[in-house]
Amino acid sequence: MSDRPLIEARDAALSFGETPALRGASFEAAAGEVVAVMGPSGSGKTTLLHCLAGILVPDRGEIRFDGRRVDALGEPERSTLRRERFGFVFQFGQLVPELTVEENVALPLLLGGVRRAAALREAGGWLERLGLAGLHARRSGELSGGQAQRVALARGMINRPTVLFADEPTGSLDSLTGEQVMDLMVGVAREQGTTVVLVTHEPRVAVYADREVVVRDGIVHALSAGRSGS
């Protein structure tokens, strides 16, 4: 793991109307590092993730990825960056209900121009890897919460992203299922050298990270040495 920041925010500030969400937040994560972004509801942790991922652009400050100013890019360039270099896992999976499990997983490759047969073949491999073999043709409404999150994880990792952004990935799961999802997520990320930015308010999830960042009132207040998870 390199000590050089792969992705970082420098004094990022962002307001929604008159309401400040970030008030000068600074953050960094090295290549291959798993960082938990913790804080109470409304603290600004998800806004920070969205700025790091190029979904939102801060009003001031800088966002850098691999030495490049993300906040200075136009939306088409940021969209390409998200599609080619980033992966995402959200609290409720956000699977496309009209698509099968296999098609949901293959979606990032299909959007990137990969031929359908090749994309579905790669998706099938990920489904088997994450214990989802036999669910290829199901729709999201036919899955348990844990199955849906594993499908979301497969979709998030299928393009072998440099950074995986996970926003409360176990928030809708029971404790045991949440642990299973985290074991898979962190295991796959470490195997591939993927940096993980993990937003959570749960200490039992943060324990999987190398390091914890605490956000309150839109500011990074504390950094702590992480407790290595499995």
pLDDT of residue 3: 61
pLDDT of residue 208: 95
pLDDT of residue 87: 94
pLDDT of residue 157: 92
Strand extents, DSSP E, 17-162: 19-30, 34-38, 60-65, 68-69, 86-90
pLDDT tens-digit readout, 61-117: 999 999 999 999 999 999 999 999 999 998 766 899 999 999 999 999 999 899 999
Q: Is the pTM of this model over 0.75?
A: yes
Mean pLDDT, the chain, whole residue set? 90
Tell me if 218 sits within 8 A of 23, measured CB to CB: yes
pLDDT of residue 90: 85
Tell me if 152 sits within 8 A of 146, measured CB to CB: no
**Strands 5-16 and 163-167, sheet pairing:** unpaired
pLDDT of residue 229: 38
Domains in the chain: boundaries: 5-225
pLDDT of residue 223: 59
pLDDT of residue 92: 65
Sheet containing 86-90, strands listed edge to edge, beginning at the edge strand earlier in sequence: 86-90, 163-167, 195-199, 34-38, 211-216, 219-225
CA dist 150 → 19, 76, 102, 146, 155 (Å) = 35, 29, 12, 6, 9
Tell me if 160 sits within 8 A of 192, measured CB to CB: yes
Give Cα 153 distance to the centre of its chain: 9
CA atoms within 13 A on the CB side of 71: 21
- CATH homologous superfamily, domain 5-225: P-loop containing nucleotide triphosphate hydrolases (3.40.50.300)
Tell me if 132 sits within 8 A of 163, measured CB to CB: no
Residues in the chain predicted with pLDDT less than 50, given as ranges, are: 1, 226-230
